[in-house]
Structure 1
């Protein structure tokens, strides 16, 4: 595996893990974590004959952490910038949680660069209720609570944030691992990325979407509206795979998840809507 910093057109340096040869697959993690969470999937996808790449979103992991620039368009530009820096014309993009929103936005904005989208624990359009997306929790209350907790006791907030979305309490060693990764994300990047996650509404990207989409979601995910995920799948005619787990299907039901992931990568669901 090669691990390196690549520089995007904006000048932001993004940390990437790159292993294997073949059709490229770009993995994008969720809020406050990093590409390290994809370690098992990088190996499995590479062994299946693909070039598997995991990026740390700006402000996360080993990537640069500017004070600003965390809007969904900035994060999407970073993902395309990674492809540019690695000389990749197009790739399957696998995005988890916030990364799922980035993946779907990339498919809308630059469909010629995205061969297929796999959204994990994400509907791709909104994490909170809006006029256009009437599912999930309201934005204001939860967001203000999270931002205040991040300011008052970032260490405790991060431990709860990474541990609570499991269906069952994770093993202490697993929670310790996720907590360590989360604390690599600075407070300013964490707050800005959380605002993007909670306040973005990109239901408009569903109109005219031409890239194949698969969503892999947990039926007991407290951070995701399952009704909302089903609504998106019905609207665009994409494939939806449901697991009996929480927000971490790649950790909570890894074998089933890996099989579904490989299917989504090698036989993407065509858009019918």
Structure 2
């Protein structure tokens, strides 16, 4: 397997498809690089080099006890980019991965970055606070943690069969394949790593990181996202990122990388070619 080694010795797996300008994908929780297959196959087929890693504690990467927070996620991404000596790279992050990309730019800048895209992404802040009244209450995330400790296999099945893909909506075209695929990836994550990551994606404030974006940026979100509601996410981020392009998918759920993959692939290619 292709791996890189981080500063604390963690082995990070990555896949590397195609040739051309590099695109680096950061995945959502509790998934891994395989969740990007539709986008990677499409964009690699259109002349791009597509690279996606399994975040520490997820998929085929090591499961370290420590480092399951955004600063380390961002530094791991930096190690990947620097080890592969990528330049003029396009960073694309989904959900938690959108936070990872955002913190990377906040910590490491854009010297190696040409463009960025945040899809169904968690920034600026998911948690409801006095300064972020549109966020979700801490009870939501405490509930996720409790469910993970009680029966995380069932939690992943419930998320996939319900709000993640919008399969709990009337008339939804439910795919058992998508449900199984989400569950399988979730169960490949480390129990401690996935549990810690709930705090990382929900309580990290990316406001100052977003203000450091100085490359063309696409913010793409579904307005029926039940996992990362658009109000405290893309709509808020659009006010912080200079010259960001905001694209809203009417009726789309959180997991639109699968449910709306044809539309997303077309929009991403158009953004890359602009």
Give secondary structure in 1 for the equivalent of 2:129.
coil
TM-score normalised by structure 2 residue count: 0.91
The aligned residue for residue 219 of structure 2 is 215
Q: 1:253 aligns with which of 235, 260, 273?
A: 260
Partner of 1:125: 124
TM-score (norm 1): 0.91
1:159-174 to 2 correspondences below 5 Å: 159-164=157-162, 165-169=164-168, 170-174=174-178
**CA displacement at 1:255 relative to structure 2:** 1.1
Cα deviation, residue 124, structure 1 = 2.5
After superposition, the Cα gap between the structure-2 partners of 1:92 and 1:168, relative to the gap in structure 1 and judged at 3 Å, is same
Deviations 1:91-138 (A, max 9, x none): 111100000011112122222122211111015222222344332212
8 Å CA contact 2:157–2:183 kept in 1: the answer is yes
| Equivalent residues of 1:250, 1:257 under 8 A apart | yes
2:236 to 204, 227, 231: 231
Deviation, structure 1 residue 17: 0.7
Q: Give unpaired runs (5+ residues) of structure 2.
A: 169-173
Other-structure match for 2:153: 155
Query: How far apart are the structure 1 equivalents of 2:240 and 2:59?
Result: 35
Alpha-carbon distance in 1 for matches of 2:156, 2:54 = 17
Q: 2:144 aligns with which of 139, 143, 146?
A: 146
Of stretches 164-173 and 28-37 in structure 1, the one that deviates more from structure 2 is 164-173
Q: Distance in 2 between matches of 1:111 and 1:124?
A: 18
Partner in structure 2 of residue 15 of structure 1: 13
Contact 2:102 2:206 in 1 (8 A): no
- The CA deviation at 1:250 is 1.6
Classify the secondary structure of the residue corresponding to 1:222: coil
CA 106–266 in structure 1, closer or farther in 2 if over 3 Å, else same = farther
Q: CA deviation at 1:90?
A: 4.4
1:240 shift after superposition: 1.0
Give the match for residue 270 of structure 1: none
Distance 2:64 2:105 in 1: 25
Q: Is the 8 A contact 1:29 1:96 kept in 2?
A: yes
Are positions 1:71 and 2:69 aligned together? yes
Structure 1 residues 131 and 92: CA distance shift in structure 2, 3 A: farther
Higher mean C-alpha displacement, 230-239 vs 72-81: 230-239
Paired with 2:248 and 2:266, the residues of 1 have a C-alpha distance of 13
The answer (yes or no) to whether the contact 2:126–2:135 under 8 Å persists in 1 is yes
Where in structure 1 are there 5+ consecutive unaligned residues? 268-273
Superposition CA RMSD, Å:
1.6
Shift of 1:9: 3.0
